[in-house]
Structure formats: structure tokens, C-alpha cells
């Protein structure tokens, strides 16, 4: 195959997370976002070291797997859901085979216990970050998710299937309100405009809703901002929602980066947080708190962690990369002590407040980078729980963690390729994967959550391990491009 040439072929399989494999004249090509069994047209846009990568141009014939009735009207257009047209049971089968393939080179498939489905396959997300923009250059105001493969074009996602209808009511009302007031969106190249993002969070259990409008401070040419925002909040409050508003916020963000962050936050209605219940515990969640995006799926995930751990009575536990301390608090009731480490200070403060609210006095949360903090921890842990970000654990931090010599670890991963890379190091240093399973926290998407129980062997291993990060394909850019707007 030659770079720049167009080809037609049938997708044989899909490797994690979204890499369709097509073979032409004995040569393999990777085509992102193509599904098994599809006949596709693609163009080769990258070829290096004998590896061909192509861009999907069109689907000539759908896969026999694509039998889902009434698929999302945005399927294949927005950058989020890959498997929307495939029935949920078939999605689970695909993800199971992907994980088996990843585990096979390490001979870990015997430890793999399969996949646990999400309690809900639709309407499960409790958080969405929608972006303002236009669907085509100089088109009308749009509000939704990024078009697949684009950092600029926005797709109006009025009928998104992975969120509760309350989300789409808030989205469509917000777009209509600012469109009628001729308010401009922020143009990232020129760094001009006002409207940036709409953040919506909704608790599955309490049904409380937190909405935040993210804008710049560029108010020139806009009617008095206070009146504009007050009118928007009133418009939202008039909607016939199933849930109830905990708060409606205005967040000002003048950062050049296309991220949702706050330079200043104003409460237009209610309060700056909402509550969610999880496994009998209550958690306070702010606009930027890390919290699993599938509340009911999170209960399955944390129950799995608790099952793998077993009895925690009298044990000292480290929860590294602890976020808002959810796992720490789930394990704390009968443990002697739980120490959480998290780099985001706001999440640490929320963890402390949540632990106090839940009456847990044996939880300590430390703000800091695991790499820098873990070496200063004085306790000897009986168990370590690891729940790192997508790209896994820093190699130096992993060495420090291994240095504690704890008999068991639980590794929770939202990116199985990162888990496999770190497992190779852990196994070389005397740990064996005893049990592994997946929890599908992200139906219709290519994402999957994995839980692994590691036990320390009695024999010492001294094996040098070299990990090829390119082969593992762990770049942040790919994750962002594939799942823009959903993570």
C-alpha cells in the first residue's frame, strides 16, 4: 500500500480501542473508527516502519453486526460513540475479545474473568462537556460535541442517547436562548468571542443537576452581561425536567487552551455542588470534581474492587490516585486506616469533606503527585489500590510503589493498554495477576474499565523489562482526538 492511495477492503477485526484492521495484498492497515465486517473505502495517510495507517472515507456496506434498531441520529458524526449501531450484547463480546488479545502476549488470559455490563446501556452518563461553535464555517450557533476527527466543527447533539433527556433539554434551551440574543461563540484560532462550553452534571440517584456556562470575559457588543445570564438561568429553571437543579453557575475562562477550567465562578442559582449516592455513601461533587461518569456502573466497579480485595478488617490501605476518595471510603468502614493521594487539590478537599460527611474518621487524604509523595508515606500498607489516569503510572512512581513490598495490589485502569504495560513491569518484579475482569462503564463507546488483582510471589524476580510505548500507542493526542467532548 502507498501513502495517498485510496483502497477498498473489509474490516477483519477491531483492536483496542478503535483500530479497524484491513488486509490488502498481505499488508495490514489500521483504520480508526471502522467496525468489524464493514466494507470500507479508506486512504493511506501514514506509513512508517512497515506500519500503514489510513483514514476512513466511507462505509460501502455496513457490518452484519450493525443491527441495532433506531440508532442515535448522530452516530458516526459526533466524536463520541463508535458502537452505537451494534446491539449491546455484541458490544460486550467485541470488548471482551479486545482485552483477551491485549492479555494474550503476557499469558494472562487464564486470569481473565470476562466482562460485567453496565446497568444501563443508554442514558448512563452523569457528566457532559458540550462545546459552542458552528457545524460549518460561518454557520448558525451550534452546541454539542466535536465532529469526529475535528477540533473545530461542532455537531448539535439534540438527541444524544448516552445521556438523560434532561441533558438535551438544557442543551437545546441554552443554544436557542443565546442564538436569539445573537451572542457569539469563542473562536479558538482568533481567540475572540464569548461562549465556550456548557457543563452539565446530573446525579443518577439524587437526580440533582448542576449546570455551568463557561464563557470568556469578552463582553463587548453584548447586552448587559448580568441581565443576559439571569435570563438564561430563568430559561433553564422553566424547563419541565425530571431532575431538580442543585445549582446554575457562570464560569469565566480566558485560557487559550480548549479546556473547561475556572478563572472565576459565579452562582446564578442554588449552590456550587450537588450530591450523589454510591453504595450507601454520599458524595459532594463540584463542577470539576473527578467522579466516575457512570454512577450505576461505578457501583458495579467498586463492588468488584471490594470483592477482589476481600476482608479489609484491621488493614492499612493506600489508595493512590484517589480522586474524590470514592474507593477509599468504600473500603474504609472496617479498615484500620486508609490513606489517599491525589494531585488535584480540589478533589482532595472534596474527599476530606465527603469522608467527614460519611462519618469516616480513619481516612487521610494527601494532596500531591504520587511520584513525589509516595516515598514520604510512613505507614506500611497491607494493600495498595491504584487507579491512575489514562496513561498509567509513571515508571519511577511504579518502582516506589513496588518498593513497599505489599502482598496484594488492586489496579483499576480506564485504558487497558496502560494496564498491560505496567503489568509487564509488575510481573517482572514479582507480582502475578491473579484475577482480571472488565466493567463496561462506557456503552456504545470504545472505552472500557479493567480491574486487576495482583499478588506478590515468594520468589524474587530480576528481569529487565523494556516497554515500547509506540507499540502500546499510549499517546494523549489519540485519546483526545477519538473521545473529544466525552472525557
Q: Rounded CA gap, 344 and 366, in Å?
A: 10
402, 447 Cβ separation under 8 angstroms: no
For this structure, is 414 an active site residue?
yes
| β-pair partners for 129 | 199
Q: Rounded CA gap, 215 and 253, in Å?
A: 6
Q: Rounded CA gap, 20 and 26, in Å?
A: 16
Annotated catalytic residue, options 414, 437, 438, 452? 414
User: 3-class SS at 4?
Assistant: coil
Backbone angles phi, psi at 39, to 5 degrees: -95, 120
Burial class (CB in 10 A: 0-12, 13-18, 19+), 256: exposed
* Catalytic site positions: 414
Amino acid at each position: 500500500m502507498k501513502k495517498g492511495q485510496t483502497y477498498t477492503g473489509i474490516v477483519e477485526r477491531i483492536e483496542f480501542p478503535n483500530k479497524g484492521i484491513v488486509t490488502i495484498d498481505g499488508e495490514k492497515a489500521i483504520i480508526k473508527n471502522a467496525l468489524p465486517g464493514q466494507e470500507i473505502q479508506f486512504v493511506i495517510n501514514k506509513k512508517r516502519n512497515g506500519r500503514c495507517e489510513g483514514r476512513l472515507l466511507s462505509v460501502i456496506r455496513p457490518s452484519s453486526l450493525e443491527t441495532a434498531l433506531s440508532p442515535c441520529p448522530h452516530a458516526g458524526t459526533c466524536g463520541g460513540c463508535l458502537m452505537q449501531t451494534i446491539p449491546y450484547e455484541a458490544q460486550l463480546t467485541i470488548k471482551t475479545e479486545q482485552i483477551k488479545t491485549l492479555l494474550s502476549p503476557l499469558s494472562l488470559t487464564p486470569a481473565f474473568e470476562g466482562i460485567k455490563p453496565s446497568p444501563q446501556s443508554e442514558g448512563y452518563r452523569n457528566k457532559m462537556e458540550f462545546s459552542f461553535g458552528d457545524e460549518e464555517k460561518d454557520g448558525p450557533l451550534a452546541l454539542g460535541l466535536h465532529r469526529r476527527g475535528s477540533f473545530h466543527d461542532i455537531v448539535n447533539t439534540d438527541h444524544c442517547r448516552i445521556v438523560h433527556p434532561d441533558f438535551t433539554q438544557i442543551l437545546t434551551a441554552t443554544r436557542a436562548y443565546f442564538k436569539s440574543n445573537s451572542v457569539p461563540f469563542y473562536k479558538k484560532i482568533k481567540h475572540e468571542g464569548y461562549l465556550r462550553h456548557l457543563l452539565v452534571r446530573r446525579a443518577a440517584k439524587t437526580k440533582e443537576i448542576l449546570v455551568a456556562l463557561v464563557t470568556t470575559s469578552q463582553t463587548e457588543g453584548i447586552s448587559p452581561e448580568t441581565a443576559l445570564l439571569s435570563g438564561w438561568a430563568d430559561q433553564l429553571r422553566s424547563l419541565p425536567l425530571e431532575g431538580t437543579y442543585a445549582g446554575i453557575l457562570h464560569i469565566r475562562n480566558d485560557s487559550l487552551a480548549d479546556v473547561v477550567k475556572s478563572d472565576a465562578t459565579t452562582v446564578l442559582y442554588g449552590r456550587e455542588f450537588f450530591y450523589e449516592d454510591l453504595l450507601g455513601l454520599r458524595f459532594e461533587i463540584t463542577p470539576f470534581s473527578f467522579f466516575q461518569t457512570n454512577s450505576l456502573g461505578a457501583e458495579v466497579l467498586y463492588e468488584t474492587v471490594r470483592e477482589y480485595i476481600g476482608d479489609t478488617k484491621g488493614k492499612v490501605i493506600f489508595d493512590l490516585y484517589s480522586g474524590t476518595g470514592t474507593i477509599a471510603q468504600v473500603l474504609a468502614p472496617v479498615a484500620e486506616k486508609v490513606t489517599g493521594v491525589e494531585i488535584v487539590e480540589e478533589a482532595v478537599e472534596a474527599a476530606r469533606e465527603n469522608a467527614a460527611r460519611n462519618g469516616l474518621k480513619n481516612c487521610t487524604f494527601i494532596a500531591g503527585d504520587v511520584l513525589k509523595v509516595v516515598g514520604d508515606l510512613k505507614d506500611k500498607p497491607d494493600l495498595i489500590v491504584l487507579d491512575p489516569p489514562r496513561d498509567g503510572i509513571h515508571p519511577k512512581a511504579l518502582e516506589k510503589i513496588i518498593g513497599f513490598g505489599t502482598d496484594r495490589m488492586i489496579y483499576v485502569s480506564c485504558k487497558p493498554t496502560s494496564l498491560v504495560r505496567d503489568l509487564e513491569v509488575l510481573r517482572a518484579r514479582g507480582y502475578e495477576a491473579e484475577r482480571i475482569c472488565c466493567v463496561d462503564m462506557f456503552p456504545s463507546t470504545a472505552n472500557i474499565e479493567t480491574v486487576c488483582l495482583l499478588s506478590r510471589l515468594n520468589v524474587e524476580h530480576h528481569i529487565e523489562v523494556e516497554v515500547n510505548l509506540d507499540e502500546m500507542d499510549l499517546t494523549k493526542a489519540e485519546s483526545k482526538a477519538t473521545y473529544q467532548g466525552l472525557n
